[in-house]
Amino acid sequence: MNADDPRPKTQTPFVIWFTGLSGSGKSTLASIVEELLRAREVPVHNLDGDALRRGLNQDLGYDDDARDESIRRIGEVTRILVDAGHVVLVAAISPFESGRKRARSLIEPGRFIEVFVDVPLDVAEARDPKGLYRLAREGHLTNFTGIDSPYEPPSHPEVHVDAVALNPRDAGELVIASLEAAGLLANRS
């Protein structure tokens, strides 16, 4: 590219969809990726499942149908933002393959980057930053993913993050490198 080219650089819109158990590190990783993208002057919308439960999804519970509806809505909002040309990050457990597939189907092929933030249940449970696993084990919380509600791991995620071996910063760099490889982000050099 000619450095003197006066035309504004255009950024391809896309979505990075972080899925994984509660406590796997989705929100942490999404924040780091947001920071790394902003450092490259790519503005992003960061949609966090927990935050959306205080507004858009405040009427929903946690049974299978409610979880499905929550993900359907997040997928629709994502579609609107991507159609408007934005880069969107979604951090949501999104436990069911069908829901993630539907969200993917709303986005142009190649622009939906599914990132599986993968930790074994015992690691997520040991982290338990919000004390929710303990509540679920004690029977005070029902339909908790990994305990009495299933998590279906993605079969073909664009990025599979081993969130035990990798610290969040390195995982963030891995996601950025995969965006470059997919042609969604200009190489820094």
Ligand X SMILES: Nc1ncnc2c1ncn2[C@@H]1O[C@H](COP(=O)(O)OP(=O)(O)O)[C@@H](O)[C@H]1O
Q: How far is the CB of 9 from Mg ion (least distance, A)?
A: 31
* Residue 129 near which of ligand X, Mg ion, none (CB within 5-8 Å, type-dependent): ligand X
5, two tokens: 């080219």
Return d(Cα 48, Cα 27) in angstroms, integer. Answer: 7
Exposed/middle/buried for residue 58 (C-beta within 10 Å: 0-12, 13-18, 19+):
exposed
Q: Does 44 bind ligand X (CB under 6 A)?
A: no
**Tokens 């009495």 -> residue:** 148
Annotated catalytic residue within 24, 27, 70, 94: 94
Q: How far is the CB of 167 from ligand X (least distance, A)?
A: 5
How far, in Å, are 2, 3, 67, 91 from residue 88 at the CA level? 28, 27, 20, 10
* Residue 57 near which of ligand X, Mg ion, none (CB within 5-8 Å, type-dependent): none
33, two tokens: 């990726």
Q: How far is the CB of 97 from ligand X (least distance, A)?
A: 18
Q: Say whether 155 is catalytic.
A: no
Nearer to Mg ion by Cβ, of 124 and 185: the residue is 124
**Tokens 């990994």 -> residue:** 146
Q: Does 115 bind ligand X (CB under 6 A)?
A: no
Interface residue list for ligand X (CB under 6 A): 20, 22-28, 91, 127, 129, 163, 166-168, 171
Residue numbers annotated as active site: 94
